[in-house]
Chains A and B, each alone.
Chain A
Amino acid sequence: MPDPRTSGTGRTGRALAGRAFAHRLFWPLAALGALLVVNVIATPTFFNVRIQDGHLFGSLVDIVRNGAPVLLVAIGMTLVIATRGIDLSVGAVAAIAGAVACVYIVKSPASGAAGTAIVAITTALAVCVALGLWNGFLVSVIGIQPIIATLVLMVAGRGIAMLVTGGQITTVNNDTFAALASGYLLTLPVAALIALGVFAATQVVVRRTALGMLIESVGINPEASRLAGVRSRTIIWTVYVFAALCAGTAGLIIAANTHSVNANSLGLWIELDAILAVVIGGTSLAGGRFSLAGSLVGAMLIATLTRTIPNIGIPAEANYLFKALVVVMVCLLQSPKARAVLQRRGERPAGPPSPSSREEAVA
């Protein structure tokens, strides 16, 4: 809306700053920037990226590589949350994917061959599609609330993964499979390329076609969307399958990174990290408008935070504490109520508020 007061250049500048301030990615990006600054102060060489053996090496590259699984899960989660849903089962799905792939490789006669790895990965992803279909079935056909429908698989999933591995920590020696996590392509880590590739592809599909708008319309009002001729059932079903597929890919990367699968710990709490990334990115858990770019920033923020804690000399275990603080701060800054309080203060920048203005603020 054009504002007559913002005519002068100074005012325009302030208006621009104000718009940046109000942008929903402002606070997450500011937090990310602040974390990076903290890192540079702690380790001046933090931004250094060097090429060694034809690969890019450096802390920033590590952050992107280690953040890949959470980013992948967050991409799927964003679309699910946009339809007013939530998928708690992604951690369990990741564990199942890792378990299926590793057990397939171990059981196959040529356990080191590239072909085995490809078949194993395909099988694991096919299983994930089936799991996603199951979640989508419960939510869209039976009509169970998403949080409960996916709770079923969250609880049972790790049991299923243990059933697949026989309760053992299965170790694999397959270079092609390991390359998923530790490989490099064109000097860049494969894991990061996969995650960013999925991000770019998803972004193109949802924003260059009507799909993104349809997902948002289902999230804003499923009933109205259905009456308007949107096939909300199919769309909801699709996003759960996509979320499971993303989770499965993340699980494969995690398993490849450790050359093994532990059904109990693989992807533990990754659903919470992913939901956190989505929320930090400004997508409301109430559904509707979503921002994949926001989730990307959120995932990178979490990865950077995980990296920052040991870097500034705090035990890595304290990471949870800081995660909690970040969640609370970002959520408070995004909460309309807290913003209203902040803006009321911000409107009176001249000096401490007089008693009368304080009364107005209260009123």
Chain B
Amino acid sequence: MSITAPTGVLAGVGRFTPPRRYLPVLGTFALFIGMFGVGGIRYEGFADPQVFLTLLLDNAFLIVLAVGMTFVILTGGIDLSVGSNVALSTLIAARTLELGWPVVTVIGVVLLAGTLLGTAMGLLIHYFDIQPFIATLAGMFLARGLCYLISVDSIPIKNETFSAIAFGSITLPGGYYLGWTAVFALVIVGIAAYVLASTRFGRTVYALGGSEPSALLMGLPVAVTKVGVYAISGFCAALGGLLFALYTLSGYSLHAVGMELDAIAAVVIGGTLLTGGRGFVVGSLLGVLVLGTIQTFISFDGTLSSWWTRITIGVLVLVFVVLQRVLTRRS
């Protein structure tokens, strides 16, 4: 790594150069605005604020998942289990509601189960030196297996409280409305952003991602933090699962297959380095919004086939990864 700062390139673009660490997030933001702009020009009704609000509602669960994933990836780890954890959460919720448990208990049980799964994986990773990839892979299989044990078939959720939350929304000035689940997801983003930016735990997460041996030598609580991020990811996955259950009003073992990939893609597009140590939760939120916009694009167009979503996501991940590579090489 060279110590001398590179000159030119950025300075040539304009006088104003934002702090380098915000560049990836700003890039994602620009991409999102650009996509929305292009959509607004091409399709009638695309630029309507309600489209944006619906985007938040449709992706509320993914936003929460991406928040948890951001914590894990910031420490340089990865969590493959979140998709299965979502499916498990929807099933636990649906099954316990079917048995007539009170809603508060159901929510508590789901969140506890997800957090426990995350914690168990964190313990395996930290205390037995099992690679995050393998430990969370085991968690992924475990959660899917448990799903099938609970029920092979889809279970509908008929609980009134759940339906009320699912369809509830707040009305914004101008007659626009925002679903409760979307508000919820945004609150989670806010809390996570605060935790990462201004708490001891959050700063330790960044330190761990920067260099684990250094963090250890500095006397930072490495064990608690490392297990903690997986617990947080498990908690977020369970919460995402609840939001997904609200979104689909059902529990099914085949829900959310491959959703971990979407979450990882959103985090990468949001500018978080997969090697850890750099990134922001807000970036992940923007990443999810970009993914959602692609889907909105395709549904507005009508002539594009659904598989273009996946191809576009792949291309975006590629572009961002290459950009990251170029940026980190220069710094």
> CB within 8 Å of B: which residues of A?
86, 138, 142-145, 147-149, 151-160, 162-163, 167, 263, 268, 272, 275-276, 279, 285-286, 315, 317-325, 327-328, 331-332, 335-338
Q: Are A153 and B314 in contact (CB under 8 A)?
A: yes
Complex Cα distance, B112 from A303, in Å, reads 34
Complex Cα distance, B167 from A345, in Å, reads 58
Shortest CB distance B87–A (Å): 11
Closest 6 CB pairs of A and B: A156-B314, A321-B145, A159-B310, A317-B148, A320-B145, A324-B142
Contact of B310 among A142, A155, A332 (CB under 8 A): A155
Complex Cα distance, B127 from A152, in Å, reads 31
Beta-carbon nearest neighbor of B137 in chain A? A272
Shortest CB distance A306–B (Å): 12
Q: Are B321 and A156 in contact (CB under 8 A)?
A: no
Complex Cα distance, B151 from A99, in Å, reads 33
Shortest CB distance A246–B (Å): 20
Beta-carbon nearest neighbor of A316 in chain B? B148
Can you list 19 A-B contacts (CB < 8 A)?
Answer: A138-B318, A143-B329, A152-B317, A155-B265, A155-B314, A156-B313, A156-B314, A158-B307, A159-B311, A163-B305, A272-B141, A275-B134, A315-B148, A315-B152, A318-B149, A321-B146, A321-B148, A323-B141, A327-B141
**Do A317 and B253 contact each other (CB < 8 Å), given the known contacts A145-B275, A331-B134?**
yes
Check if B139 is an interface residue, CB within 8 A of chain A: yes
Q: Are A154 and B307 in contact (CB under 8 A)?
A: no
Q: Are B138 and A163 in contact (CB under 8 A)?
A: no
**Do A324 and B274 contact each other (CB < 8 Å), given the known contacts A167-B305, A331-B134?**
no
Beta-carbon nearest neighbor of A329 in chain B? B138
Complex Cα distance, B139 from A289, in Å, reads 26
Instruction: Classify the secondary structure of A's interface with B.
Output: helix
A142 — which chain B residues lie within 8 A by C-beta? 322, 325
Check if B264 is an interface residue, CB within 8 A of chain A: yes
**Do A285 and B148 contact each other (CB < 8 Å), given the known contacts A144-B325, A162-B305?**
no
Complex Cα distance, B322 from A269, in Å, reads 26
Q: Which of B115-136 contact A (CB under 8 A)?
A: 124, 127-131, 133-135
Shortest CB distance A178–B (Å): 27
Q: Are A285 and B145 in contact (CB under 8 A)?
A: no
Q: Which of B35-92 contact A (CB under 8 A)?
A: 78, 80
Complex Cα distance, B152 from A315, in Å, reads 10
Beta-carbon nearest neighbor of B308 in chain A? A159
Complex Cα distance, B306 from A286, in Å, reads 37
Check if B296 is an interface residue, CB within 8 A of chain A: no
Check if B315 is an interface residue, CB within 8 A of chain A: yes
> CB within 8 Å of A: which residues of B?
78, 80, 124, 127-131, 133-135, 137-142, 144-146, 148-149, 152, 253, 257, 261, 264-265, 268, 274-275, 305-311, 313-315, 317-318, 321-322, 325, 329
A138 — which chain B residues lie within 8 A by C-beta? 318
Q: Are B128 and A337 in contact (CB under 8 A)?
A: yes
Given contacts A159-B310, A320-B144, A336-B129, 16 further A-B contacts (CB under 8 A): A148-B268, A148-B317, A151-B268, A152-B318, A155-B313, A159-B309, A159-B314, A162-B310, A272-B80, A272-B140, A275-B133, A275-B134, A318-B145, A324-B145, A331-B124, A331-B130
B264 — which chain A residues lie within 8 A by C-beta? 151
**Do A151 and B325 contact each other (CB < 8 Å), given the known contacts A167-B306, A276-B137?**
no
How many residue pairs bridge A and B at CB < 8 Å? 135
Shortest CB distance B276–A (Å): 11
Beta-carbon nearest neighbor of B124 in chain A? A328
A145 — which chain B residues lie within 8 A by C-beta? 274-275
Q: Are B306 and A324 in contact (CB under 8 A)?
A: no
Q: Are A323 and B268 in contact (CB under 8 A)?
A: no
Complex Cα distance, B140 from A327, in Å, reads 11
A327 — which chain B residues lie within 8 A by C-beta? 134, 137-138, 141
Q: Are B322 and A144 in contact (CB under 8 A)?
A: yes
Complex Cα distance, B142 from A148, in Å, reads 24
B124 — which chain A residues lie within 8 A by C-beta? 328, 331-332
Shortest CB distance B262–A (Å): 9
Q: Are B325 and A285 in contact (CB under 8 A)?
A: no
Complex Cα distance, B299 from A15, in Å, reads 68
Complex Cα distance, B325 from A149, in Å, reads 11
A285 — which chain B residues lie within 8 A by C-beta? 131, 133-134
Complex Cα distance, B139 from A121, in Å, reads 36
**Do A331 and B138 contact each other (CB < 8 Å), given the known contacts A285-B133, A337-B128?**
yes
Shortest CB distance B214–A (Å): 20
Q: Are A163 and B307 in contact (CB under 8 A)?
A: yes
Q: Are B128 and A332 in contact (CB under 8 A)?
A: yes
Beta-carbon nearest neighbor of B80 in chain A? A272
B135 — which chain A residues lie within 8 A by C-beta? 328, 331
Q: Are A335 and B128 in contact (CB under 8 A)?
A: yes
Beta-carbon nearest neighbor of A321 in chain B? B145
Shortest CB distance A170–B (Å): 14
A276 — which chain B residues lie within 8 A by C-beta? 134, 137
B309 — which chain A residues lie within 8 A by C-beta? 159
Q: Are B128 and A338 in contact (CB under 8 A)?
A: yes
A320 — which chain B residues lie within 8 A by C-beta? 141-142, 144-145, 148
**Do A147 and B78 contact each other (CB < 8 Å), given the known contacts A315-B148, A320-B142?**
yes
Complex Cα distance, B311 from A158, in Å, reads 8
Q: Are B129 and A156 in contact (CB under 8 A)?
A: no
Beta-carbon nearest neighbor of B325 in chain A? A144
A151 — which chain B residues lie within 8 A by C-beta? 261, 264-265, 268, 317
B306 — which chain A residues lie within 8 A by C-beta? 162, 167
